[in-house]
Structure 1
C-alpha cells in the first residue's frame, strides 16, 4: 500500500513541476499515455493499458530525451520499465515481482497543423524484452496527442 501511495505521489509531483502535460492515445495498441511537458529537453511518459483485465494492469514509466530543438517536430529517445503492481496479490511467491520488462523508445512528435501546434501525431518504435530477457517484441506505436499549456513552454 505504501509503494502505491509513493507512486501516486511521485506522479503528481512530476506533473505539477512540468507546467504542461501531454495526453496521448495509441488506438492500434490500446494504450493511453500521460506525459510531463514533451517540449522540455527531458520528460517522463506514463503509459497505461486500456484493453486489459484488471488483474493484468500494466504500466510503463519511461524517461525521454528530446534530441532536437525544432518547434514542429521533436525526435526523442528513452528507456522504460513495465510494471504491474497487482502482481503482489499473486499467491505464488515466485510471481510477486512488479517488474515485467524493459523497453527502448525512439520516436517523433509532429505538429502537422500550424494553427493547432498543441495537437500532435506521435510515432514510435520500441523494442521490448521481458525481465528475464528470454522473450521480446518489436513494438510500433502510432497515436494522437494533445499538449496542455502554452505553445513554447
Structure 2
C-alpha cells in the first residue's frame, strides 16, 4: 500500500526553452519538493536545483507557489583541483503558477515561473523565467 501511494505522488515537468527536466513530489500538497536537472549540457556541468515549495493559493484551475533552493553540481566532487570540489553553485528564489487549462485533464498543467538566481559568492546573478508543461500522477477526484 505504501508503494502505491508513493507512485501517485510525482509530477514531471519539462521546460523546453531552458532544457530543464523536473521531478517533484505532489505539487497539489501544501508543501512539496522539486528536483530539476539540466539537460543538453556537458557531463561536467550537470547542475541540479533542489527546492522546497509552498502553495500560496489553490484554485480549481491555478495554483500559485513560492520556493527557494540551491543549485548544486555533485560532479564537482570529482574535480582534481581540491578548491573546486564544493558542489554548491548558487541560490535561487521561485515564484510560480501551475495552470490546469483542460478541465477533463487536470493532471496536465502549464507552468510559469520567475526565478532570480545568484551564484554562491553573490557577485553574479540572473533573472530566470521558466515556461514548461507538467503532468501530475495521481488519483483523480470524482468531481474532476
Query: TM-score, with normalisation over the residues of structure 1?
Result: 0.86
- Alignment equivalent of 1:60, drawn from 23, 28, 49: 49
How many residues align? The count is 137
Say yes or no: does 1:92 pair with 2:84. Answer: no
Deviation at 1:19, TM superposition (A): 3.9
Cross-structure match for 2:71: 82
Query: TM-score, with normalisation over the residues of structure 2?
Result: 0.91
Matches within 5 A, 1:5-24: 19-24=8-13
Looking at secondary structure, tell me which structure has more strand per residue.
2
Moved over 6 A (4+): none
8 Å Cα contact 1:42-1:64 kept in structure 2: yes
Whole-angstrom distance in 2 between the partners of 1:151 and 1:132: 45
Cross-structure match for 2:34: 45
Q: Which residues of structure 2 form unaligned runs of 5+?
A: none
Looking at secondary structure, tell me which structure has more helix per residue.
1
- Alignment equivalent of 1:34, drawn from 20, 23, 26: 23
* Bigger mean CA deviation after superposition, 32-41 or 86-95: 86-95
Q: Which residues of structure 1 form unaligned runs of 5+?
A: 1-15
Deviation at 1:151, TM superposition (A): 3.2
Deviation at 1:55, TM superposition (A): 1.0
Alignment RMSD, CA only? 1.3
8 Å Cα contact 1:18-1:37 kept in structure 2: no
Whole-angstrom distance in 2 between the partners of 1:18 and 1:133: 38
Deviation at 1:17, TM superposition (A): 5.0
